Amino acid sequence: MNLEIESLDAPLGALVYGWQPNKDLSAADKITIQQSLQKHQVLVLRGHQQPTDEQLVRFARHFGNLIKGSEWFGDLGAQPEILRVNNLVDKNGVPEGTGAATSLEWHSDYSYVPTVGKVSFLEAVEIPRNNPPQTCFCNQYDAFERLSEATKKLLRPLKALHSITGYKSSAIVNPMNGDESSSEEIRDGFKAKQARNRKKGISQPDIPAAEHPVILKHPDTGREILYVSKGITRRILGMPEDESSSLLKELAEHSTRPEYVYAHNWRAGDMVVFDTLGTLHRRDSWNPSERRIMRQLSSLWQPPTDSMVA
């Protein structure tokens, strides 16, 4: 392939042309993408034919073993590595995917599992015609580097709990903003999928929770990352609740300041590949009467425990 990389006029991100989903990546193509991802954190692949599910999975596997994320969210499909992110429902009113039309707060994909997400892939199959929602990204390498030396010293020994418990149960309050962690619409949809699966005799794993260091070292770059998010990080372990909430709120505001954010305006067919360890992302809500269909995958990283600590 002849991959062309064009930096965006934004705090992070680049456009990539020349990807051909019907062809396998060469070793040189893979290196080009990996190096560009380390440099730009967010790559927007554009101008290609839409990949099949099989082609999408094959491409993503070049960057690591894939998380079967759809199983945690009660979704069914031949490719469990693909999470269907959409607001469609079947004839019985059961969601066909995950996420509804609600906004999603800043997060890092699969930070709530022991084996965290490393690289994520998000493709736009169909987007709303009117006021399509943006997906915003911010750089967590930069967020770490902008911390004072005293704050870095404070954070390095700390761990935090990551959880999306409220997605499938009664809402829990996010200590960073005092809001419910997930909308009633999403929870009701999850329960409908659970009921459908029970009738079909399908058993799927529960959504986990996990503890991770507040400061990580990226396995590819060796650079340090601020690894907390407004949407998923619940508390700092071993710290009084009020101090934990205050610190998390401070870090959230620090890491997502508008001048460090890239807001992506989607085009149908865009494939966004991003460093889900080194970035946070969030999504706007949209008119639920309009369809938005996305496909999402994540490769995983399971390092030795000591390598995660900065």
pLDDT digits (tens, 9 = 90+) for 164-198: 876 554 333 444 444 444 467 777 877 888 788 78
Laid out side by side, the sheet with 233-236 consists of 210-213, 159-162, 233-236
% of the chain with per-residue pLDDT over 90: 71
**Rounded to a whole number, what is the distance in angstroms from the first to the last CA of the chain?**
37
Rounded to 5 degrees, φ, ψ at 286 are: -155, 175
Give me the pLDDT at residue 175, please: 42
CATH 3.60.130.10, domain 4-308, yes or no: yes
Q: Are 256 and 138 in contact (CB under 8 A)?
A: yes
Ramachandran category for residue 131: left, alpha or beta (phi over 0 → left; psi -120 to 50 → alpha): left
- pLDDT tens per residue across span 101-145: 889 999 999 999 998 899 999 999 999 999 999 999 999 999 999
Q: What is the dihedral sign for C-alpha 211, 261, 41, 128?
A: positive
The pTM assigned to this predicted structure is 0.91
Look at phi and psi of residue 288 and say left if phi exceeds 0, alpha if psi is from -120 to 50, else beta: alpha
Q: Return mean pLDDT, the chain.
A: 89
Q: What is the pLDDT of residues 196-243, one digit of tens each?
A: 878 888 887 888 999 999 999 998 888 999 999 999 999 999 999 999
For residues 31 and 61, is the Cβ–Cβ distance under 8 A? Answer: no
Q: Which residue(s) pair with 263 in the sheet?
A: 136
Tokens in use for 12? Answer: 């992070």
Cα distances (Å, whole numbers) of residue 292 to 57, 188, 207, 274: 21, 19, 24, 20
Residues 119 and 277: their CA atoms lie apart, in Å, by: 7
Q: Which residue ranges make up each domain of the chain?
A: 4-308
